[in-house]
A and B are shown apart, each in its own frame.
Chain A
Amino acid sequence: MALTREQVEHVANLARLALTEEEKERFRQQLSAVLDYAARLQELDTDAIPPTATVLPVRNVMRPDTPRPPAPREEILHNAPEAEEGCFKVPAIGWE
Chain B
Amino acid sequence: MHLYDLTIHEARKLLDAGEISAAELTQAVIDRILAVDNAVKAYLTLTPEEALEQARAADAARREGRSSPLLGIPVAIKDIICTAGIPTTCGSRILENFIPPYDATAVARLKAAGAVILGKTNTDEFAMGSSTENSAFFPTHNPWDLTRVPGGSSGGSAAAVAAGECLGALGTDTGGSVRQPAAFCGIVGLKPTYGRVSRYGLVAFASSLDQIGVMTKDVTDAAIMLGVIAGHDPLDSTSLDVPVPDYTAALTGDIRGMRVGVPKEYFIPGMQPEVEDAVRTALEVLADLGAEILEISLPHTDYALPVYYLIAPAEASANLARYDGVRYGLRVVGDSLEDTYKQTRGHGFGPEVKRRIMLGTYALSAGYYDAYYLKAQKVRTLIKGDFDRAFEQVDVIVAPTTPTTAFRIGEKVDDPIQMYLSDVFTLSMNLAGICGLSLPCGFDSQGLPIGMQVMGPALGEMAVLRVAYAYEQATDWHTRRPPIRSAGR
- Residues of A with Cβ closer than 8 Å to B? 3, 7-8, 11-12, 14-20, 23, 27, 30-31, 33-35, 37-38, 40-42, 44, 46, 49-56, 61, 63, 71-72, 75-76, 78-82, 88, 90-93, 96
Contacts and interface: CB of A to CB of B under 8 A. Distances in A.
Interface string B181-210: 000000000000011000000000000100
A63 B334 CA distance: 42
A67 B88 CA distance: 27
Given A31-B358, A34-B417, A55-B194, 16 more contacts: A15-B361, A16-B342, A30-B355, A40-B306, A41-B376, A41-B379, A46-B381, A51-B380, A52-B380, A54-B238, A55-B432, A56-B240, A76-B327, A78-B99, A79-B98, A81-B330
**Closest 3 pairs between A and B when the two form their complex, measured CB to CB:** A55-B433, A18-B346, A51-B377
Interface of B: 97-99, 101-102, 194-195, 208, 234, 237-238, 240, 300, 302-303, 305-307, 309-310, 317, 321, 324-331, 333-334, 336-343, 345-347, 349, 351, 354-355, 357-359, 361-362, 365, 371-372, 374-382, 384, 416-417, 431-433, 458
A11 B362 contact: yes
Contact of A90 (B208, B237, B337): B337
Contacts of B240: 56
Q: Is the interface of B mostly helix, strand, loop or mixed?
A: helix
15 contacts: A8-B358, A23-B354, A37-B309, A41-B379, A42-B375, A46-B379, A49-B382, A52-B378, A52-B381, A52-B384, A56-B195, A76-B327, A78-B99, A88-B326, A90-B326
Contact of B381 (A15, A23, A50, A91): A50
Contacts, number: 159
Given A55-B384, A79-B99, A79-B329, A16 B379 contact: no
B416 A33 contact: yes
Interface centre among B98, B338, B376, B378 (most CB of A within 10 A): B378
Contacts of B354: 17, 19, 23, 27
Contacts of B355: 27, 30-31
Nearest to B349: A17
B271 to A, nearest CB: 18
Contact of B340 (A20, A75, A91): A91
Contact of A18 (B102, B342, B362): B342
Given A30-B416, A61-B237, A63-B234, A16 B324 contact: yes
Contacts of B361: 11, 14-15
B378 A46 contact: yes
B358 A72 contact: no
A17 B345 contact: yes
Nearest to A79: B328
A17 B371 CA distance: 24
Contacts of A34: 309, 359, 416-417
A76 B326 CA distance: 12
A40 B371 CA distance: 11
Given A52-B380, A91-B337, A15 B357 contact: yes
A91 B335 CA distance: 10
B176 to A, nearest CB: 16
Nearest to A26: B351
Contacts of B317: 15
A40 B331 CA distance: 40
Contact of B382 (A35, A37, A44): A44
